[in-house]
Homo-oligomer: A and B are copies of this chain.
């Protein structure tokens, strides 16, 4: 019942990208430095985000990534699903269209359904621009610490 590092790092990376890619493409190495995530791992994450159509890449020198669409139309759900696959806590075939034999007897189905829905609702209503906003506010308060970013322990 845990989100893997893909989702955790990936969302951080995309928020970073949203913040810095307005003027020019942002390279993996620069995200890596700011966010303290390994370059080679970040590569994989960006590949997924690209395949999901959330970012576009620009190859060659001075290349990098930019958002494929405005930050206000990318939800946390979009990002996490791109990186983690679907976000359902339980994938019961009874929840799909076909259903399964004995699904009448399957009470837990309703439980999983509710959990899935509540997660989906939560992640789908949070948009990237809101987080960027929050992040800018936070940085105003503590500019000093940002230089110290690599020594921090929070890898959320």
Contact = CB atoms under 8 A, between A and B. Distances in A.
A104 B141 contact: yes
Contact of A135 (B3, B105, B148): B105
Contacts of A121: 118
B12 A105 contact: no
Q: Can you tell how many copies of this chain the complex includes? A: 2
A153 B95 CA distance: 13
A13 B123 CA distance: 31
Majority DSSP secondary structure for residues of A touching B: helix
Contacts of A92: 154-156
Nearest to A103: B154
Interface of A: 1-4, 7-8, 11-12, 15, 76, 80, 84, 87-95, 100-112, 114-115, 118-119, 121-123, 126, 131, 134-135, 138-139, 141-142, 145-146, 148-149, 151-156
